Amino acid sequence: MTQDEGAAAFRAAAQALREAGDKDLRREVSASLREVTKPFGARIIRHGAVEMPHRGGLSARLAKARMTQTNAMNGRSPGIGMRFKVREGYDLAALDKGNLKHPVFARPGRPRVWATQRVPRDAYTREFLAGRDQVAGELVHTLESVTERIAQRSKR
């Protein structure tokens, strides 16, 4: 399935879900979508963190990142959004571009200085791109099964 075919199938399933108007079914669909994306998000976090510097514990702190997901089934462009956050406040977008900004602690009495360090570029993006098509197919399959259930309910 091409990316355009997957997007069209996703839109069609989202519209069928909207038209059904069943809130319980929407909750069930959201839970099913999370079941697909949660392991994918964890894999992105894990692979991105492994490529970051281990000295000083950066890699371990980044491995504790959390993913949140938004499901947009209404509007003109339904879709699923994934966001990643780290408790310590690291800018994951900047890290993915290859820049790590961190404080350098000087001797007592001297001010703290901020330094920019180069880190591997696209550490998170590579893993996302590697698994994107497979996960998109699973998401479309999940929504197509929901569409079939809606069609069966309407025939009753």
pLDDT digit string (tens) for 63-105? Answer: 999 999 988 777 777 778 899 999 887 888 899 999 998 888 7
pLDDT one digit per residue (tens) for the chain, 156 residues: 666 776 777 777 777 777 777 777 778 888 888 898 999 999 999 999 999 999 888 899 999 999 999 887 777 777 788 999 998 878 888 999 999 988 887 778 878 888 899 999 999 999 999 998 888 888 888 888 877 777 777 666
Q: What is the pLDDT of residue 11?
A: 75
Please, are residues 49 and 59 in contact by the beta-carbon 8 Å criterion?
Answer: yes
Residue 105 sits at the vertex; the CA angle it makes with 100 and 109, to the nearest 5 degrees, is 150
Q: What is the pLDDT of residue 152?
A: 74
Instruction: Name the burial class of residue 57, with classes exposed (0-12), middle (13-18) and buried (19+) by CB atoms within 10 angstroms of its CB.
Output: exposed
Q: What is the pLDDT of residue 154?
A: 66
Q: What is the pLDDT of residue 125?
A: 94
Q: What is the pLDDT of residue 67?
A: 92
Please, are residues 120 and 139 in contact by the beta-carbon 8 Å criterion?
Answer: no
Q: What is the pLDDT of residue 81?
A: 87
> Can you read off the two tokens belonging to residue 107?
């001797």
Q: What is the pLDDT of residue 63?
A: 93
For strands 79-85 and 99-104, give the pairing: unpaired
Q: What is the pLDDT of residue 156?
A: 61
pTM of the model: 0.79
